[in-house]
Amino acid sequence: MNGSPPAVWVTRPREQALRLEALLREHGFEPVAAPLLAIEPIEDETKEAQVAAALDDYAWVFFVSRSAAELAVPRLRRYRAWPPGPPVMTVGEGSAASLRDLGFAEVVFPRQGADSEAVLALPECARAAVSGRRVLIVKGEGGRALLAQTLTERGASVDTWICYRRIRPQWSDEVLAPLRERRLAAMLLTSSEGAGNLPELVPAADWPRLAEIPAVAAHPRIAAAALALGLKRVVTAPAPGDAGLVAALESLPVFQELTLVLQKVQISP
């Protein structure tokens, strides 16, 4: 790697990648923006007004992602201040940080796991907590239906607000340059849907090289999707969140070897 920081593809949508990119730099990596998804807001003033008017009625409001929080909360605040009643919930530390940035001091999210199953294990989602209650899920188009289905089975009245869609972006030659120049050391995969866009964004001529690049997946489902695409060196992060992704990166043999080389250089007379 010629003494330069190892280049790592960050495949999150650009709006969601900044914290992770900063963390990578702190740990000596060179983040390269390679978004596999782009976020397109869905404007629906009628729905926004309905949700804003009903906020007091919800047992809690769940935001499925950072994009859901960052798009929905400012829109609702155009109609009214956020009421003191309904707690806000989300799925991981990154989304919780976005909600705190939006002014929510208390955010409920699972400390173990970062998926619908972990959310459903929270006391706030137990049958006794939601039966006969009204809850709101703020989300993007598509995605898993497990959370809404299970809450309905537990007796909740589930409202959903779809405030964005995920689309496939366009990549420039600049994104592909680290791969083609053999500078790309690893990639971070944080979405099964995003991983599915790789064959459309990486030309066939570059695919054999890409298949050999280490890939760190944020969840076992994402790892399975990456392996199904033909990526050969896929590992799953040991913990949810950005810290888990960086820990997995640092555990890859290529980076451990680089660390040893740098240490030897530093202690050489």
Q: What is the pLDDT of residue 266?
A: 45
Contact 266, 118 (CB under 8 A): no
Q: Is the pTM of this model over 0.85?
A: no
**Three-class SS state of 175:** helix
Q: What is the pLDDT of residue 261?
A: 40
Distance of CA 138 to the CA centre of its chain: 15
Q: Which residues contact 60 (CB under 8 A, 6 or more apart)?
A: 86, 87, 88, 89, 108, 124, 135, 136
Contact 216, 248 (CB under 8 A): yes
Give the C-alpha separation, 199 to 218, whole Å. 19
Q: What is the pLDDT of residue 170?
A: 93
Q: What is the pLDDT of residue 256?
A: 60
What residue segments make up the domains of the chain, in order of their start? 7-37+170-267, 40-166
Give the C-alpha separation, 223 to 213, whole Å. 14
Torsion 58-50-162-42 (CA) sign: negative
Fold for 40-166, please state it. Answer: Rossmann fold (3.40.50)
- Alpha carbon dihedral 26, 31, 33, 37, in 10-degree steps, equals -80
Fold for 7-37+170-267, please state it. Answer: Rossmann fold (3.40.50)
Q: What is the pLDDT of residue 112?
A: 84
Q: What is the pLDDT of residue 16?
A: 86
Task: Flag residues of the chain having pLDDT under 70.
Answer: 1-3, 254, 256-269
Give the C-alpha separation, 142 to 134, whole Å. 22
Give the C-alpha separation, 181 to 2, whole Å. 12
Of residues 92, 121, 95, 96, the one with CA closest to residue 106: 96
